[in-house]
Amino acid sequence: MPDLDLDHIFTYHPPTGSYQIEHYTTLRQAAHEFAKVIVAHTPAGPDQSAAIRKVREAVMTANAAIALGGRIHVEEPDDYR
């Protein structure tokens, strides 16, 4: 398994093109709607808070997938493939 590309992972990746901003916005809006459903259909308490936190974490992880272009490993030279 290739090494993690820490330089790529921990570099700021500004949006490159309107398509990325559109993806971020769509994810955020969908998560917001889902969070509202969770609040409307579950009792307030630690489990509800955890559910909302996990939705937030899912959005952040999805945003990272967009920003990183799906790449988290050091790409191997062609002669290793």
76: pLDDT strictly greater than 90: no
Note whether 20 and 66 are within 8 A (CB): yes
End-to-end CA distance of the chain: 12
* Predicted pLDDT at 62: 96
pLDDT at 70: 86
Q: Residue 73 CA to chain centroid, in angstroms?
A: 17
pTM of the model: 0.81
pLDDT tens digit string along 3-18? 999 999 999 999 988 9
33 inside domain: yes
Cβ-contact 65, 2 below 8 angstroms: no
| pLDDT at residue number 67 | 94
Q: How many domains are contained in the chain?
A: 1
Mind listing the pLDDT tens digit for each residue in 19-38? Answer: 999 999 999 999 999 999 99
Q: Does 68 reside within a domain?
A: yes
* Domain range for 27: 6-80
